[in-house]
Chain A
Amino acid sequence: MGKAKKKHRLIDAKKPNLLDEIFPYSMPPTIRLEGPVVEYIDGEPVEFDFGAVKDRPILISDTTFRDGQQARPPYTIEQMVHIYDLLSRLSGPNGVIRQTEFFLYTKNDRETLDRCQALGHTYPECTGWIRAVVGDFRLVKEAGLKETGMLTSCSDYHIFHKLKFRSRKECMDSYCEVVDAAFEAGVRPRCHLEDLTRADIEGFVLPFVDRLMAMSQQVPEEQSVKIRLCDTMGFGISYPGAELPRSIPKLIYKLNRECGVPSDRLEWHGHNDFHKVHSNAATAWLYGCDFINTTLFGFGERTGNPPLEGAIFEYIALKGDLCGIDTLAITELADYMRSIGLPIPDNYPFAGRAFNTTRAGIHAGGLRQDEQIYNIFDTAALLGRPPRVAITDKSGADGVAHWVNEFFGLKGDDRINKIRIHKLARWVIDQYDVEGRLTAISDQELEVKAEEFFPDYWEKYKG
């Protein structure tokens, strides 16, 4: 301990190495993966090839209208149709957001689904969500859906304490009866293994999935059972060495390689109770789950689900390509969601009002010299959101100069230097030192001062 293992020689340079291949700026930083990853499972080393994710058909599914809506007052039909339309734009022609699921129980649920389908978008495909009740398949059939999710809760908390089954066998038989009803109705069942990360994996989950795989032999491949791994309480752990039932690598290995569920029939559904939600979903992709299930801005039951926009940027980073995704739709979705009352915190990544706003003067100084120093990627091009500076007593003249240049839209040699903004910088400092102000200065206040101190620029660019 404490003894150096290797000496590291300075590689001097006269020009910067900005690692453009990893940080291209015009795109989100790429995620480059190397070498096999080893996880010990049942005492044996098992290799996973993370690098394969670049060529695997990984995809995103969405549950904004189901899990996302369970956590809030219902959306109106018009709101859902508009959101669906924007989701389709975001998804792009390759259908990166492949599916979204709908409730089917009320007249409004049904009308929403019909109107979304009437838009004629190929993606996201519409699927349903029902209880594990045989009679509910009538709703799926009537809606003309090919696939539906159904609750097949698998922890003993749910089996015994919630659903009141007398035994695991009775529970499994009941679930399988519903799966049979789905097959008979010509509908593909997607079994949601609710509370998986708190379940007896060897004692119930794997035997149940074995049985589902055997049942799937009776039907065409496109109707075979899909498995949703539901981390209902956010207990999932992404890193190697964690034990079942919380280990995401081990859960996916068991289902994928022991039970033989193909990757394209595995889907991860997480919750954010322990701040792990996005990383856990991305981990599921890497270990062999092709689908990750998300909601817009992570809004969902309690602490929420994997945020869709986070999955989008992870997808682009892993693939090293936009893959037809229209990232600008994220900003449009955020503006729309705010307009209908969904709270998005100001510092929320990619979508919050201040996600790329710096308050520190020293950071503003960096931004003023080169926006790449303190901006994650070209947020103006990909999200329609250039980096901003919020003005406080910590902003300094650099921050004020950056604000002024952004406000007037000045680039290159046209930018106003720090010396020319000294009156506004003085006004800002006096707000705090003389007036005793404790809050940030709003854009509206600064705009009034910009007109006063820079009348020529105001006339030219804002008049």
Chain B
Amino acid sequence: MATVEERVKAITAGVLKLSPDEIKLDDSFTADLGAESVQSIELVAMFEEEFGIEMDEDAALSVQSVGEAIEFITEVCREQGVEIEE
């Protein structure tokens, strides 16, 4: 199974039409990767689908960077009993 980081980067690359190699952990979704408002919503929706979790809307949308997203998703997976490869 791929790690959370690999899966988050793959989703992000798909939604924002980038190569996974270009994405760094401290990249901001909006400032560095160019995510627009609707793309931010799409990212959250895709993460939920990918990991089979449900995230709080406001909390999920306040996540700024790729690294924070990995931490946030890892935490939600733990809370919701979803198995992941860290």
Contacts and interface: CB of A to CB of B under 8 A. Distances in A.
B41 interface: yes
B45 interface: yes
Interface in B31-49: 36-38, 41-42, 44-45, 48
B38 A429 contact: yes
- Taking each of A397, A421, A422, A425, which has the highest tally of chain B beta carbons within 10 Å of its own beta carbon? A422
Given A361-B37, A397-B37, A418 B42 contact: no
A422 B41 CA distance: 6
A396 B61 CA distance: 14
Contacts, number: 30
Interface residues of A, number: 12
Contact of B44 (A361, A419, A426, A429): A419
Given A419-B45, A422-B42, A422-B45, A396 B57 contact: no
Nearest to A417: B57
A418 B57 CA distance: 7
Contacts of A420: 45
B64 to A, nearest CB: 17
A419 B45 CA distance: 6
A273 to B, nearest CB: 44
B9 to A, nearest CB: 20
Interface in A373-422: 396-397, 417-422
User: For the complex, would chain A's binding face be called helix, strand, loop or mixed by DSSP majority?
Assistant: helix
Contacts of B37: 361, 396-397
B80 to A, nearest CB: 15
Interface residues on B, range: 10 to 19
Contacts of A425: 38, 41
Contacts of A418: 41, 57, 61
A141 to B, nearest CB: 70
Nearest to B45: A422
A361 B61 CA distance: 16
Nearest to A428: B38
Interface string A148-181: 0000000000000000000000000000000000
B63 interface: no
Interface string A60-100: 00000000000000000000000000000000000000000
B60 interface: yes
A420 B41 CA distance: 9
Nearest to A361: B37
Nearest to B48: A419
Contacts of B44: 419, 422
Contacts of B60: 419
Interface string A409-449: 00000000111111001100100000000000000000000
Contacts of B48: 419
A419 B60 CA distance: 10
B65 to A, nearest CB: 19
A147 B41 CA distance: 66
A156 B38 CA distance: 65
Interface of B: 36-38, 41-42, 44-45, 48, 55, 57, 60-61
12 contacts: A396-B37, A396-B38, A419-B44, A419-B45, A419-B48, A419-B55, A419-B60, A422-B41, A422-B42, A422-B44, A425-B41, A426-B42
Interface of A: 361, 396-397, 417-422, 425-426, 429
Given A396-B37, A421-B41, A422-B44, 8 more contacts: A397-B37, A397-B38, A418-B41, A419-B45, A419-B55, A419-B57, A422-B38, A426-B42
